[in-house]
Amino acid sequence: MVALALAGLVALATLLGMLWRASQGRVRLAAGAVTGVELGGRATLLQLSTEVCAPCRATARVLGALSTHDVRHVEVDIAHRPDLVDRFNVLQTPTTLILDRDGVVRARIGGAVRRDVVAAELEKVA
């Protein structure tokens, strides 16, 4: 009986872990606008990070490589902007918000980003 309960618990934890893993790096639609951030001419890649976040460094490299004269990459430490954490319900770092030229959030990516996914979302903002 105990072995059956443990097997069920392991199966449930595995399923939940697989669902969580599948959601990482996926684009989600988001609503709202961001103020207090210097915006790019066409779009802004707003990365919400922490100092101790290892995936944040990799995300910063990807987003920095995608920034151009009209696409700006801005990295914000969530310790300095708790208003953004509350407003956008940030539960993990990195969280990347893709903003249009007016600061309106067009997409949200939780976890480490993939270059091709971000580039495709930037094309939609144009």
pLDDT tier at 22 (50, 70, 90 boundaries)?
A: low
The pTM score is 0.77
Domain, as residue range, for 66: 26-125
In a domain, 93, yes or no: yes
Handedness of CA 22, 93, 31, 85 (dihedral sign): positive
Residue 48 lies in a domain: yes
Confidence grade of residue 9 (pLDDT, cut at 50, 70, 90)? confident
DSSP-derived letter for residue 37 is S
Asked if pLDDT for residue 14 goes beyond 70, the answer is: yes
Whichever domain contains 59, its CATH number is 3.40.30.10
CA distance 103 to 33: 5
List of residues 6+ apart from 53 with CB closer than 8 A: 93, 94
Q: What is the total count of domains within the chain?
A: 1
Report the first-to-last Cα separation within the chain, whole angstroms. 59
pLDDT digits (tens, 9 = 90+) for 66-93: 999 999 999 999 999 999 999 889 999 9
Residue 18 belongs to a domain:
no
Residue 9 lies in a domain: no
Residue 20 has pLDDT above 70, yes or no: no
